[in-house]
Chains A and B, each alone.
Chain A
């Protein structure tokens, strides 16, 4: 986008100064893809290396950001799927800055491909397919976004994997039988296309509920693993209140070590 006079686009540019380190994700990426504006918070997929983390901390330190409850912006936690959460004020705006390096539902090989594609194309925003995968959450409203993201995809194989519309799927199947056969291996729901709209819509509902439960279970694993850290957090928050971010980061990392496990438990990063 040529005009970057927006707090999230500006921050993305700053995070990527000199090197691609961060891809704008989730709700703000949905805006860049010109679908709905539904979220006021920012979320970035951060490259999982020490330089990227250090640069992000320095950028946010200059903005006067502070930590919210979450994991420290430290690779030991981020590499296990934890998220780090910061916040700062800009004029009337409360800007929330959330980072992950291991996004849910995106495997290591795909993640590597996302970075390679972004590097090659110069994009700083998560693309349509990974964005759709990220939006398969436990929130109903995200499935409406996935449905529209699928319509923006140009590859029928991708549309088969993410479409939420029985009508769209039936029409796609009539035009792209080879891609349907390929998609069946990854999305069992597609086997219901030949049974008509009613059966397909029931299957779409079942699939959505199963995806929502899977994400709830994923979050629950992290919540359980973070119980001791949550109990400690009010004291840690008082300790870091008013400190420059880089100093607060050192205090927070030291406090989290031994309290917040690096890995949440089996299956936590999927």
Chain B
């Protein structure tokens, strides 16, 4: 397609296409390691499926089950 095009993802995102398999896996693994920094923030949340949030534990108001157990 010539001329401007609608942009959905950044050039950096799309640059994965130019990586070799080994480079992609190395970048992917590094990304996953760095993403662990937010584990506390999303401990109760779901990315997939039909559940959206871990239920709160009534025995510890304000504390979700997952957070209590893994503390």
Bound-complex Cα distance A237 to B9 (A): 39
A81 touches B47 (CB 8 A): no
Chain A binding surface SS class: mixed
* Complex contact A233–B55 (CB within 8 A): yes
**Cβ-defined partner of A35 (8 Å) among B14, B22, B49:** B14
> For B22, what are the chain A residues with a Cβ–Cβ distance below 8 Å?
3
The answer, among A1, A81, A164, for a CB contact under 8 Å with B21, is: A1
Contacting residue for B55 out of A5, A81, A164, A230, CB 8 A: A230
**B interface vs A, CB < 8 Å?**
1, 4-6, 8-10, 13-14, 16-17, 19, 21-22, 24-25, 27-29, 31-33, 35-36, 39, 46-52, 54-55, 57-59, 65-66, 69
The 8 A-B residue pairs with the shortest CB-CB distance in the complex, in nearest-first order: A83-B49, A36-B13, A147-B8, A222-B50, A165-B6, A144-B8, A40-B35, A43-B48
Is the CB of A72 closer than 8 A to any CB of chain B?
A: no
- Cβ of A37 and Cβ of B31 under 8 Å apart? yes
Which segment, of A26-34, A112-120, A180-188, faces chain B? A26-34
Tell me whether A41 and B48 are in contact (CB under 8 A).
Answer: yes
Q: How far is the CB of A171 from chain B (nearest CB, A)?
A: 6
| Tally of contact residues, A, Cβ under 8 A | 58
Q: Are A93 and B69 in contact (CB under 8 A)?
A: no
Q: Which residue of chain B has the shortest Cβ distance to A197 in the bound complex?
A: B6
A198 to chain B, nearest CB (A): 13
